[in-house]
A and B are shown apart, each in its own frame.
Chain A
Amino acid sequence: MDSLATETVDIGGAQNIDEVMQKVAEHKGCGTSGGSGKASCGTGAGENDLPQEIWDKVKNHPCYSEEAHHHYARMHVAVAPACNIQCNYCNRKYDCANESRPGVVSEKLTPEQASKKVLAVASTIPQMTVLGIAGPGDPLANPEKTFKTFELIAKTAPDIKLCLSTNGLALPQHVDTIAKFNVDHVTITINMVDPDIGAQIYPWIFWNRKRIFGREAAEILTEHQMRGLEMLTERGILCKVNSVMIPGINDKHLVEVNKAVKSRGAFLHNIMPLISSPEHGTVFGLNGQRGPTAQELKALQDSCEGEMNMMRHCRQCRADAVGLLGEDRSAEFTTDKIMAMEVTYDLESRQAYQAQVEIERQKVAAAKNAELNTLAGEGNEDIKILIAVATKGSGRVNEHFGHAKEFQIYELSTKGAKFIGHRRVDLYCQGGYGEEDSLETIIRAINDCTAVFVAKIGGCPKNDLVKAGIDPVDEFAFEFIEQSAITYFKRYLDKVNSGEIVHAERGDATLRQGAFITA
């Protein structure tokens, strides 16, 4: 946030804040329809711009807007531990403090504790704009706790957007309550629309007071998911669909899922890689089911992109995560610490802070557009390269190579810089691993990239990256990511055109699947 400190905005009274926000919204190149900057501000899709009313709802939502996720934070409160279905990729038993995946939390909260936590976090992290209930079970299998939490938060922090994430089994019966509590974002996890495929993913569901198994279970689940989705979109509630990509089971089928959810009004599709390390103890982890590689995931996302907007910045976070996507500050807000905190909810200072965030966003978009204009008419339409970026947020290259827990991946072409995903390089359980091991891990994770942009990098890793064919770039330290990326790409094209380098496709990369314990 250092860049924000250098620029101050006269916000005066509340009236003025609204004016600033309005002005920023009008000018930042994301808000106006058909603006050239909009594609990158949206969900990551270039061809499929969002309608204005949807954009207005998602523009500050880190999970729905790729561009917003550099600037705004979210939090999940773990008030909903119970679940009503069993999934082969989930195991509820495991909770290591350093483990991060859906379905695990360190502690559950009561609605009252959750409400206090939201206020504490909102006061500490003014860019926290979104509260989600995502489990660790299914929020709609715990309807009293879920809706009580929403009720308490709506009273004390009315500016915070409410969302929930569900498997959809109990969705149709709760749609009206969801609408009543002004929940305007719902995520449904839909992994299939074919019960034969569903039977390979869901061993059973708990429905009408009994367990139902196999194909019959999947049939009920898919019927409820589709009906729930239709009911939500009829009521103007935004729906995102999450799908877990399971190679050999539903990877090809997800194209059908994409069509089915698009036709029922879902506005964003998030295809995530299966997490299946054996140490998690899931059915897929134990039976050796592999997750997709980086290129397999990207190919599927690309093939669905013409159909609808694709989300590529999902971090598959825990049901109690706090902070910007890619960071987790939940340890700062344990129940003991929150209960001891004196919290006052200062709406005005939150809005003032967010107004400055909007100015920063506007600068990022303007810098990118200016740079993009200089790229026009370069030729070389076929050339695409990937770069990895170490960033702490705000849309800048502002993280040290050695400190990065993840790298953001951009695809560069004559069309510009397009965010296509991220690669985690953190370890599940810290401690005991040598520097060399983690460097190998990083190289495997970004092996398909031509360059890695960092704020700073030491001599040794630099040499190893060069040996692996990845160009370590620190000259764009603290600059805007997309602007820098386009500058770099222009130079790359110049070198290709002059014959100094030969453009070649790079190999595939590994998606982080768990603790990389290399002896």
Chain B
Amino acid sequence: MTYKIVASQCTSCSACEAECPNVAISEKNGTFVINPKKCTECIGYFDVPQCVAVCPVDDTCVIDTSLPRYQAAGGAA
């Protein structure tokens, strides 16, 4: 799984974009999206996912349950 942004809740404040250690977040059509190929859930970087911690609207950056869990180096190919 990686994180995703609930578009209907996003205020487009861009706070997450600057905090993401993987540069996985960008603006698309007025709201922000997380590139699941780049998201590492901040594992190996920080104790807490940065987008979740900085987002002003709770439950907007959430785990995307439709995708497989991110695995640290040595895991998924």
Contact = CB atoms under 8 A, between A and B. Distances in A.
A92 B13 contact: yes
A206 interface: yes
Most buried by A among B13, B18, B46, B56: B56
Q: Is the interface of B mostly helix, strand, loop or mixed?
A: loop
Given A82-B18, A210-B46, A210-B48, A137 B53 contact: no
Nearest to A81: B13
B46 A209 contact: yes
A492 B62 CA distance: 66
B50 interface: yes
Contact of B15 (A82, A209, A210): A82
Interface of B: 9, 11-15, 17-19, 46-48, 50, 53-54, 56-57
Nearest to B17: A82
Return the 5 tightest CB-CB contacts between A and B, nearest first: A82-B15, A81-B13, A92-B11, A211-B53, A206-B54
A206 B53 contact: yes
B56 A92 contact: yes
17 contacts: A81-B13, A82-B13, A82-B15, A83-B15, A84-B15, A84-B54, A86-B56, A92-B11, A92-B13, A93-B11, A108-B12, A137-B15, A142-B14, A142-B18, A206-B15, A209-B48, A211-B48
B54 A92 contact: no
A451 interface: no
A470 interface: no
A82 B14 CA distance: 6
B12 A209 contact: no
B49 to A, nearest CB: 10
Chain A contact patch, size range = 10 to 19
Contacts of A206: 15, 53-54
Contacts of B57: 92-93
Contacts of B54: 82, 84, 206, 211
Contacts of B9: 93
A92 to B, nearest CB: 5
Interface in A111-165: 136-137, 141-142
B25 to A, nearest CB: 12
Interface string A66-108: 0000000000000001111010000011000000000000001
Most buried by A among B15, B18, B46: B15
A141 B53 contact: no
Interface string A187-214: 0000000000000000000100111000
A210 B53 contact: yes
B8 to A, nearest CB: 10
Contacts of B47: 210
Contacts of B46: 209-210
Interface string A20-31: 000000000000
Nearest to B57: A93
